[in-house]
Structure 1
Amino acid sequence: MRNDHPEARAAATRGPRLDRRQLLTGAALGAASVPLAALGAQALPRGGVPTAADYPARPVVPGADRAHAAGWAELRGDRVGVITNPTGVLRNLRNVVDEMHESGAVDLVAVFGPEHGFRGTAQAGGSEGTFVDERTGLTVYDAYGAGVAKTTELFRAAEVETVVFDIQDVGARFYTYIWTMWTAMQAAVATGARFVVLDRPNPVGGTARGPMMTSGYTSGVGAKEIVQAHGMTVGELARFFDGEFLPDVAGDRLSRLDVVEVGGWRRDVVFGATGLDFVMPSPNMPTPDTALAYPGTCMFEGTNLSEGRGTTRPFELIGAPYVDHRWAAALGDAGLPGVIFREAYFNPTFSKHAGTACAGVQVTVDDPARFDPVRTGVAMLVTAASLYPEFAWRQDAWDPQRPFWIDKLTGSPRLRQQIDAGAGTDDVVAAWQDELAAFDRRRQQYLIYRGPRA
C-alpha cells in the first residue's frame, strides 16, 4: 500500500540499502569512498558566463559518472534496459551503454531510443527505428512515439527488471525527452520494473517560468500539466511525476525510483558554467546558448516566422521574408534584461522559408542570471504581430479540433487570443502568474538541488 506522507515518499525514493543511499544522496558526496578527483572533475570556469563569479567553485559531476565510479553497483543483479541518446555520456564523452556493456558489470539486455534515435542520426520528428546495435550487439527498440501499451510490450519482451533513463534535457516542456521518460515510467508501473535516473543539470537553471499546460491541449510536446520552463532536472521531474501523476494515471507509483544525483550543481548554474562538455541533445540544439533561448523562441514554431531551423543557429535566429530592420530596433528599445537583439539576415536550407532570404534578429543572451526566456519570447511575438500584417499563427490540418500549434506549445489558446486582441507583454505574462506560483509551490517537495531562486 502506498504511504502518502511526504517523509515516507522521500524514504521510498531513497531505498533501503546503505550502499545505494550513499551513492544516491548528494549530501553524501563529500564522504563517499570515491573522491571527486577520481571522477575527472574540474573546477568551474571563471569566464564565459557573466555571473560565473557567483557560482560555487565546485566540480559538477553528472549522475552517470558517479554510477560509473561506483562500478555500476546500483545496477548489478537486474536485467537492465537503458533509455538514452548521444547525450548519455561520461565526462570522457563515451556513451554510457558502451561503457556498461564493456564493463561486464551490468546485465544490459536492451536499449530504447527516443526522438532522433539512440545514436542521434534522425531529424526532428524522426527516429532510427528498431535495430541491432553493431558495437554492442544489443537490440535498440524504437521508443519515439510509442504509447504506454507499446512501451510496456517492449519492456516485457526484453524482460527488463530495471529501466535506466540518461538523457540531457534542456528544461522546456515541449522538448520531448521528458515525455519519453513519462511514458516509460507508466510502463514501469505496469511491469513492476524499478526506475533509475542518472541525473544531469538543467542547462537553463532551476527557476520555473511560463504558462501551465491545460488538459485540453496536451500532446507529445506537453503530455501533462507542468509549466513551460519547468526548472527541474529530469531526476526531479521523475520524482514529481511519480508523486503527482502516476497514482491517478497508472493506478500506483513506481515500485522503486532511484535518482543518482548530480554532484556540485545548484539551481542558479547554467550549463556554460558547469565545466561539462555540451553534447547536442538534438540536431537543432547545437550549443548551450541555444538552450538558453529555446524555452521562449521555440514558440515561433507556432507562427509563420522561421525559428532558425536550417541555419547554424536554430532558435537564436528568428525571422521571415516579410520582416525588416524595424523588429530589431523595436526589441532593442523594449529594455528586456539579459538579452541583445542583433539585426540579422539568413537563408534557411530546410524547414520554413527554405531557400528564401529572411530578415529578423539573432537572440544573444549576455546575462543568464537576468534573462527570462519565456517573457522574452512573448515580447518578440507581441512586437512582430504589431509590426507586420503578414504575421500569422501556424495551423495544422491534421488536428482540426486544435489547429493552432502555438496552443499546444503554450498549453492553451490564451496567449494566442491575447496577442490577437492587442495585449502587451506585461498583460500576457501577468495572466499566468497565479498558476506558475501554484506549480512552484507544488514542486518544492520533489526538488533535490538547492541554491538561489529554488
Structure 2
Amino acid sequence: MVARKTTCQLTVIPCKNYTHQTKYRLPIAPSPNLPNMKAVYLYPSICLFEGTPVSLGRGTRLPFQVYGHPLMKGYNYQFTPRSLPGAKNPPQLNQRCYGVNLSNLPDEIIWEKGLDLSYVIDAYQNLKMGDHFFKPFFNLLIGTDSVKKLILEGKSADEIKTTWQKDIELFKIQRKPYLLYEE
C-alpha cells in the first residue's frame, strides 16, 4: 500500500551484535536450487549463466555450485542435469556437461571476490560462440549492457569491475544516512 502513497507507522528494530561483516548461516535452505550456503554465496556470480546456454547445475546435487556445457573443452569435471523437483526442465537436460565444480571453493575466497565475472568469461572464451553466447536475459540479470560489451571486447573480470568503482563509491555516500549497522 505504501506504493500508492498510503502512509503507515513503521518501526525498524535493529539486530543486536550485527554488522555487515557478520556471517550468518540460513537454518533452512531457501530453495531446492539453493540447498546450502555455498550455493547461496556463489549465486550472484553463477546466476548470470541463466542468460547463456551454460548449465549452472540445476537438476544436479550441486545447483549454483557448478557450471558447464556439452561443448566445453579441457575440463575433467562433468555432470548431467536431470529433471528433479524444483528443476523439472533444467538447461542441457540429460546432456553430459563438462565444466567447473566450485563446491569445494573456500567461503573466504568467494566473499573476497564478491561478484565474480571470471566464471562467465571462462565459459564465454571456451565456447567461442561470440555474441550468440549471450541471451537478452543476460543484460537484465546484470542490469546493464556494458558488461556484455566489455566481455565481447576481451576485458578481464577485474577490468570490468574497475568500471563500476566510481558508481559504487557514490552509492556508498548516498546510502550512508540510512545504514542501520556499522560497516
1:176 aligned residue:
none
- State the Cα distance separating 1:384 from its structure 2 match: 2.1
Matches within 5 A, 1:333-348: 344-348=77-81
| SS of corresponding position for 2:112 | coil
Structure 1 counterpart of 2:123, from 384, 391, 395: 384
The one of 398, 410, 425 aligned to 2:157 = 425
SS of 1:438's partner is helix
3-state SS in 1 of match to 2:133 = coil
TM-score, normalisation: structure 2:
0.84
For 1:410, the equivalent position in structure 2 comes to 142
Task: Give the counterpart of 1:260 among 13, 31, 50.
Answer: 13
Measured in 2, the distance between the counterparts of 1:423 and 1:191 equals 44
For residues 189 and 258 of structure 1, the distance between their equivalents in structure 2, rounded to whole angstroms, comes to: 18
For 1:305 and 1:367, the matched residues in 2 are separated by 23
Kindly report which structure 2 residues correspond to 1:13-412, keeping only aligned pairs within 5 A, or say none.
Answer: 187-190=1-4, 192=6, 254-272=7-25, 277-326=26-75, 344-349=77-82, 350-363=89-102, 364-368=104-108, 371-374=112-115, 376=116, 378-390=117-129, 392-395=132-135, 404-412=136-144
Larger radius of gyration: 1
CA contact (8 A) 1:365 1:371 kept: no
Q: TM-score, normalised by structure 1?
A: 0.36
8 Å contact from structure 2 (residues 124, 133) kept in 1: no
TM superposition shift of 1:394: 4.3
Could you tell me whether the CA contact under 8 Å between 2:45 and 2:119 is conserved in 1?
A: no
Structure 1 ranges of 4+ moved more than 6 A: none
| 1:189 Cα deviation from its structure 2 partner | 4.6
| Percent identical residues | 24
* Higher-RCO chain (CA-CA 8 Å, sequence separation at least 6): 2
Contact kept in structure 2, 1:297 and 1:373, CA below 8 Å: no
1:191 Cα offset (Å):
7.0
Q: CA 1:407 to 1:262, structure 2 compared with 1: closer, same or farther past 3 Å? A: same
User: Which residue of the partner structure matches residue 86 of structure 2?
Assistant: none
Q: Partners in 1 of 2:45 and 2:125 — Cα distance?
A: 18
Structure 1: gaps of 5 or more residues: 1-186, 193-253, 327-342, 396-403
Report the residue type matching 1:303 in the other structure. Answer: T
**Higher strand share goes to which structure?**
1
Cα RMSD, aligned residues only:
2.1
